[in-house]
Each structure stands twice: as structure tokens, then as C-alpha cells.
């Protein structure tokens, strides 16, 4: 299958402030054609995180929008991915930080809500707080292939 890309929206996803170890969960739409044909399974092979601030991040993938529910029967964690600040680089020393693809291997992903979304948690693992709004923008771009 062909690799396709989709991403969070800087204006609506991960827009709030995050103190150390705080999490913000979002559901990111898969590509529109996958949504139109109700596809729920993909293999995630690439992740790119872009951020206004160079912080230590952690990404958590969930299989439902219940995210980090305290009931372990409802919580549907898939995997955790560390994105250290040391891998964030600016182009020509200005603008946002681009982080190295943190995936050591591809991730089989199934949206158990059957809504053609990838459910993601972003955790600030840095001692510095993530800013809200325009000075704290974060975008997570996902490269995935559809599976049957």
C-alpha cells in the first residue's frame, strides 16, 4: 500500500499549555479517502513532530478516544514514543524545531472507535512548561499505509 500523510492542526490540536508531565489528548483524522471508505487499520511508519519550543516530548497512541481512562479495562494504550529535545533542530537557527523520526519500527494501528482517526496523547516531559497558543504550537505529522 502507498504511504499517506496526515497531521494535527496547530490551531485546534495540542493548543493548550502543558506543565511538566501533563498530557493533552486529541483524535487526528486519517486521510479523507480512508474516512470516506471507513478504513480503521494502518501501519504507522513515520512520525514528525514540529514545535515552537524545544522541549522533551512523549507521544502516546491510544486505540480509542477513551485515551488514558483510569479504568484499565477501558484504557486502550498502544505504545509510547519518546521525542527528546536533543533531536530538535531549527533550520538556519530560526523558526520552529523539527524532531528526528523517533520510530525504531512500524506500529500496527487500529481505531477501535471505527471513526478513521488516530488517537494521540502529547506529554510534556520537560522541566519547562509548554506555552498555550501561538508561541506553543505543535504539529504531529503521521506517515502511514493502509492495511486490510
**Listed range (12-16, 89-93, 126-130) with the worst mean pLDDT:** 89-93
Q: Give the mean pLDDT of 83-107.
A: 91
Residue closest to 120 by CA, chosen among 130, 109, 131, 129: 109
The reported pLDDT for the residue numbered 41 is: 95
At 132 the pLDDT is: 97
Query: Rounded CA gap, 118 and 97, in Å?
Result: 23
Predicted structure pTM score: 0.93
pLDDT at 75 over 70: yes
Phi, psi of 125 (to 5 degrees): -100, 10
Q: Is 2.60.120 the CATH number for 3-146?
A: yes
Q: Domain locations in the chain?
A: 3-146
- Bridge partners of 142, per DSSP, are 6, 47
Q: Mean pLDDT over all residues of the chain? A: 93
Q: How many CB atoms lie within 10 A of CB 143?
A: 19
Q: Give the pLDDT score at 11.
A: 94
pLDDT tens across 2-54, in order? 899 999 999 999 999 999 999 999 999 999 999 998 999 999 999 999 999 99
Amino acid at each position: 500500500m502507498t504511504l499517506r500523510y496526515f497531521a494535527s492542526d496547530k490551531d485546534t490540536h495540542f493548543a493548550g499549555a502543558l506543565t511538566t508531565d501533563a498530557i493533552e489528548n486529541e483524535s487526528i483524522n486519517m486521510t479523507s479517502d480512508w474516512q470516506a471508505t471507513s478504513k480503521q487499520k494502518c501501519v504507522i511508519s513515520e512520525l514528525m513532530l514540529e514545535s515552537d519550543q524545544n522541549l522533551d516530548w512523549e507521544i502516546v497512541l491510544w486505540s480509542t478516544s477513551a485515551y488514558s481512562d483510569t479504568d484499565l479495562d477501558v484504557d486502550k494504550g498502544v505504545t509510547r514514543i519518546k521525542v527528546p529535545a536533543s533531536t530538535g533542530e531549527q533550520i538556519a537557527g530560526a523558526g520552529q524545531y523539527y524532531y528526528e523520526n523517533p520510530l525504531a519500527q512500524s506500529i500496527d494501528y487500529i481505531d477501535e472507535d471505527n471513526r478513521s482517526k488516530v488517537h494521540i496523547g502529547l506529554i510534556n516531559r520537560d522541566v519547562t512548561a509548554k506555552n498555550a497558543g501561538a508561541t506553543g504550537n505543535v504539529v504531529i505529522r503521521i506517515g502511514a499505509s493502509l492495511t486490510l
